[in-house]
């Protein structure tokens, strides 16, 4: 395999970012296309109730994504610092510990989902009308979850190892396979929502195998390391795992926040607009991962550059990487917002027939949801920067602010003030307030530093 030639410590920051960003962006866009196609096939091939049922299960999938990204980011940040210090063995140990910890947690999630399927679905906002569809989707989704963890955590570690194009290929292969299987199982085989879940599980299995194959056969420095079976090794593993979780916790909260957003939104849209409201909101939920993925591509592309140079104590290069990432975040946010403002009807029509009531609700609401793109992109970039510099507390606080503390009350209060439009404005308002807080704190710190000089 021809490797990417990336020197995080000496290469030009802008060139390094571009080399990381475009493969990362392409891979994530394919992932988002997968979500959109999944919703399109289900919405048109099975019906709006099936789309709403997937929206009920989605928060659980997002929590699993969050666990994978939490350990992936945590291991990548710590591993990047260790590589900058020249300690390759420690970086390999960190990677191995991350995979073991995540596999155990995922096993527990799968077991609990199997044992408590019905209570879990109703906790996520399910209704009797959607119960059978949501159960079918959840049970056939579970087999692919452990492999999904291998993929999630592996993306960051493969990029840290200097192979963003291989990481991109994993995401592209998984997305194309999932899209094909979605079409084949939902339409020709008429397997309904179960077929969509099977397609997702099979694509996760293939992607997980590709990640494991990379670390066994193709990796440069990051490889699996055989851990010692001793009490001391166990204690070190617990300590390292806890620190990885602390560093990556903000990313887990980001995925958890999407899940909380979906659960809260499901309840609120249902209370105001019934099943049609949930189906319309599910369109926004299918598109939000696209917003998240593009913005997260900026953060994940800068993360290994920042963490490596932070470990090497090259402060000026860390600041350069942040500045480049912020410019990219602004451009991405503006493009996404313009797309949702001008193409709301087209976007709603991808998932819903224009004759159903949910289509009109979604068409009117998507431009309002699109207002969140710019502040969201900047928030995720800043939070990724703080994670990469081991400022876990600050990243966690900001992520909680934007994703839960401000968002949940917004869903409750804003509809009282602005009617149905307030349901769609809850996310943009939470992102905007968080962005203003982050920028204000940053400017105050810069002012203090300037005065101290």
pLDDT at 398: 92
Let me know: does 222 contact 95? Beta carbons within 8 Å.
yes
Total domains, the chain: 1
pLDDT at 36: 66
pLDDT at 1: 47
Rounded alpha-carbon distances, angstroms, from residue 285 to 253, 364, 423, 437: 17, 15, 13, 26
pLDDT at 35: 65
Residue 2 inside a domain? The answer is: no
- pTM score above 0.85: no
Residue 61 inside a domain? The answer is: yes
Residue 308 inside a domain? The answer is: yes
Residue 402 inside a domain? The answer is: yes
Residue 147 inside a domain? The answer is: yes
pLDDT tens over the chain, length 453 residues: 445 566 777 888 888 888 888 888 887 777 766 666 766 777 777 777 787 788 778 778 777 888 888 888 888 888 888 888 888 888 899 988 888 888 888 888 889 888 888 888 888 777 778 888 888 888 888 888 888 888 888 888 898 888 888 988 998 898 889 889 988 988 888 788 888 889 989 999 999 999 999 998 888 888 888 888 788 778 888 888 888 888 888 878 877 777 788 778 888 888 888 878 878 887 887 777 777 788 888 888 888 888 888 888 888 898 999 999 999 999 999 998 898 888 888 888 877 777 778 888 888 888 898 898 899 999 999 998 998 888 888 888 998 898 889 988 999 999 888 888 888 899 999 999 999 999 999 888 878 766 766
Q: Which residues form the domain of 127?
A: 13-452
- Sequence-distant (6+) residues with CB within 8 A of 323 are none
Residue 330 inside a domain? The answer is: yes
Residue 4 inside a domain? The answer is: no
CA distance 374 to 121: 33
């Amino acid at each position: 395999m021809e490797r990417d030639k990336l020197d995080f410590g000496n290469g030009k920051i802008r060139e390094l970012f571009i080399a990381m960003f475009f493969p990362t962006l392409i891979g994530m866009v394919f992932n988002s296309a997968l979500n959109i196609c999944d919703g399109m096939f289900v919405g048109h091939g099975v019906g709006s109730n099936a789309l709403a049922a997937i929206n009920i299960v989605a928060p659980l999938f997002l929590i699993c994504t969050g666990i994978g990204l939490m350990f992936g980011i945590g291991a990548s940040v710590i591993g990047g610092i260790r590589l900058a210090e020249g300690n390759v063995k420690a970086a390999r140990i960190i990677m191995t510990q991350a995979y073991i910890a995540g596999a155990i947690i995922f096993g527990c999630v799968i077991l609990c989902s199997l044992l408590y399927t019905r209570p879990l679905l109703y906790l996520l906002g399910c209704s009797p009308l959607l119960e059978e569809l949501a159960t079918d989707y959840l049970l056939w989704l579970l087999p692919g979850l452990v492999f999904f963890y291998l993929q999630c955590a592996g993306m960051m570690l493969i990029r840290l190892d200097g192979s963003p194009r291989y990481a991109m290929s994993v995401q592209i292969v998984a997305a194309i396979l999932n899209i094909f299987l979605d079409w084949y199982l939902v339409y020709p085989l008429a397997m309904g929502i179960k077929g969509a879940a099977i397609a997702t599980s099979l694509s996760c299995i293939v992607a997980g195998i590709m990640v494991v194959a990379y670390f066994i056969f193709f990796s440069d420095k990051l490889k699996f390391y055989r851990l010692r079976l001793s009490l001391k090794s166990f204690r070190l593993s617990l300590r390292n795992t806890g620190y990885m979780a602390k560093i990556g916790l903000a990313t887990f909260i980001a995925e958890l926040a999407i899940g909380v957003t979906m659960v809260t939104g499901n309840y609120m849209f249902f209370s105001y607009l019934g099943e049609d409201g949930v189906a319309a909101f599910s369109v926004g939920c299918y598109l939000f991962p696209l917003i998240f993925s593009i913005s997260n591509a900026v953060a994940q592309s800068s993360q290994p550059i920042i963490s490596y140079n932070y470990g090497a104590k090259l402060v000026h290069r860390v600041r350069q990487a942040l500045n480049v990432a912020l410019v990219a975040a602004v451009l991405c946010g503006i493009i996404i917002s313009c797309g949702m403002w001008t193409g709301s009807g087209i976007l709603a029509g991808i998932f819903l027939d224009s004759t159903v009531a949910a289509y009109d609700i979604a068409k009117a609401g998507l431009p309002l949801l699109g207002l969140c793109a710019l502040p969201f992109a900047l928030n995720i970039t800043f939070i990724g920067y703080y994670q990469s510099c081991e400022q876990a507390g600050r990243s966690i606080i900001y992520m909680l602010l934007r994703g839960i503390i401000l968002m949940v009350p917004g869903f409750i209060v804003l509809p009282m003030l602005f009617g149905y439009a307030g349901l769609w404005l809850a996310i943009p308002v939470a992102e905007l307030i968080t962005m203003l807080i982050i920028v204000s704190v940053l400017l105050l710190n810069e002012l203090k530093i300037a005065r101290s000089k």
